[in-house]
Amino acid sequence: MSVLIKGGRIVTAADSTVGDVYIEGERVSRIGTSLEDDADVVIDATGKLVLPGAIDPHTHLDMPFGGTVTIDDFTSGQTAAAFGGTTCHVDFCIQARGQSFTDALAAWHEKREGRAIIDNGFHIAVTDLDEGGSLEELATLPEQGVTSYKLFMAYKGALMVDDETLFRTMEVAARTGALVMVHAENGDAIDVLVREALAAGNSAPVYHALTRPPELEGEATNRAIQLARVAGAPLYVVHVSCKEAVHPIAKARRAGWDVWGETCTQYFFIDQSYLERPDFEGAKYVYTPPPRPRENQQVLWDAVRTDVLSAISTDHCAFLWDGQKTMGKDDFSKIPNGGPGLENRLHMIHEFGVRVGRISLNRMVELLATNPAKLFGLYPRKGTIAPGSDADIVIFDPSRRKTITAAGQHSKSDYNLFEGVEVTGDVDTTLIRGTVVVDGGELKVDPGFGQFVRRARFGEELQ
């Protein structure tokens, strides 16, 4: 099977040229101008952007959390992804307390088996090195293509680890070539503030933000950076939301340390005031770190523009407002933390990053595809358009208008964080490994099409 994508503007992190992409089997074979028209399928991309499929390094599908389970499974979540131009993601496999890493991974493979629409890998979230997994077992995971270890420095009593577990995991990563990822917030201090707020009768959604002040994100970010430096491990800080966390990352990177950070789409658009929306609507915006005061949004745009932050993820962790978020109607600490986002990252960053002139098209590709691929052992198989790379390609119409709504989305959530936002630019066609997965508003593959990707170790290439 061969496919020719003709006459589009091919945009990578480095280049932007009008030309043709020739795909043989699952991979790109040639890029050029006036390539022969002898392919089995010819797609006219005149006037369109031809982009590497976006890669989301941070998602939570079918995950038990906050007393419930995230509403999107691998089929619904990955369908939403494909419609939004995301062709690959790395999801968090969470080790339950007392569970071995092998059992945790088997459970997560089971969730995607027969259900996957797009390709994905797994990070392992380490929660228990005492009764559950051992350091020796952790060290073997990169051989299975699981090359990143995630630790939660918050969610006390649930996913949170202490500094000993964090530091020991960093030492293993320094040996095995895994990348350490941290959710950086001071969970002990937050736990005190939450109990104090509830004791004072403060139970509304806005107290989610007021009990997780930005200083506690800054403190944990700096702590993780210093610990990783001592352990000799590379560090990736997830969902950076505020200047207090941006600053220590900027300082470490200026010093040449192996530290990277991501932010998520929602932090550019949603501020703390959304949590005060009446009739419990504020609960839709209860995710962690919380929406911050508005001045942080410019800090984040500057950080992604200047490479202080290197990736934009979604942290897709979708719940229903009606029935799941409402579990916390009388107690903000019982609102499951997370929001949907997999479908609209490219729409939002293209509109408010590129079209508004904050970042270039090349930088958008770098933040949404190339850097996630490089950091998480997927490059150059994924994250770019080049001969030999997987033909994971998005044909994007930069002039088609779209209004973002929950009614039109593919996530099973009953709301959208960006409800009613109008953008110019939408996905026409999504290809994964040379197969058309979405076209003309229709899903073209069956569950089971998506493949598990065994990722390379940090700093190594995946061919």
For Zn ion, which is the closer residue by CB, 7 or 339?
339
Quick check: 324 binds ligand URP (CB under 6 A)? no
For ligand URP, which is the closer residue by CB, 5 or 237?
237
**Alpha-carbon distance 257 to 410, whole Å?**
40
Of positions 6, 9, 48, 60, contacts ligand URP by CB under 6 A: 60
Name the binder of 380 from ligand URP, Zn ion, none, CB < 5-8 A by kind. none
**Alpha-carbon distance 264 to 313, whole Å?**
5
Quick check: 316 binds ligand URP (CB under 6 A)? no
Q: Read out DSSP for 67-130? A: TEE-S--HHHHHHHHHHTTEEEEEEEEEPPTT--HHHHHHHHHHHHTTT-SSEEEEEEE---TT
Size of the site for Zn ion (CB under 5 A): 2
Give the single-character DSSP code of 58: E
Q: Is 57 exposed, middle or buried (0-12, 13-18, 19+ CB in 10 A)?
A: buried
Residues 6+ apart with CB under 8 A from 64: 94
First-residue to last-residue Cα distance in the chain: 21
Of positions 12, 127, 148, 337, contacts ligand URP by CB under 6 A: 337
For ligand URP, which is the closer residue by CB, 221 or 288?
288
Name the binder of 338 from Zn ion, ligand URP, none, CB < 5-8 A by kind. ligand URP
Quick check: 89 binds Zn ion (CB under 5 A)? no
Within 165-184, the residues that bind Zn ion by CB under 5 A are: 183
Give the nearest distance from C-beta 260 to ligand URP in angstroms: 17
Of positions 315, 414, 426, 428, contacts ligand URP by CB under 6 A: 315
What radius of gyration, in Å, describes the C-alpha atoms of the chain? 21
Segment contacting Zn ion (CB under 5 A): 256-264, 300-308, 314-322, 387-395?
Answer: 314-322
Within 115-174, the residues that bind Zn ion by CB under 5 A are: none
Within 172-231, the residues that bind ligand URP by CB under 6 A are: 183
Q: What is the length of the chain? A: 463
Quick check: 266 binds ligand URP (CB under 6 A)? no
**Alpha-carbon distance 340 to 357, whole Å?**
26
Token pair 């950086």 is at which residue? 184
For ligand URP, which is the closer residue by CB, 209 or 227?
209
Name the binder of 392 from ligand URP, Zn ion, none, CB < 5-8 A by kind. none
376 contacts 318 by C-beta, under 8 angstroms: no
Side chain identity at residue 6, one-letter code: K
- Selection from 419, 341, 421 nearest residue 70 by Cα: 341
3-state secondary structure of 316: strand
Quick check: 389 binds ligand URP (CB under 6 A)? no
Give the nearest distance from C-beta 183 to ligand URP in angstroms: 5
Positions touching ligand URP (CB under 6 A) are 60, 183, 287-288, 315, 317, 337-338
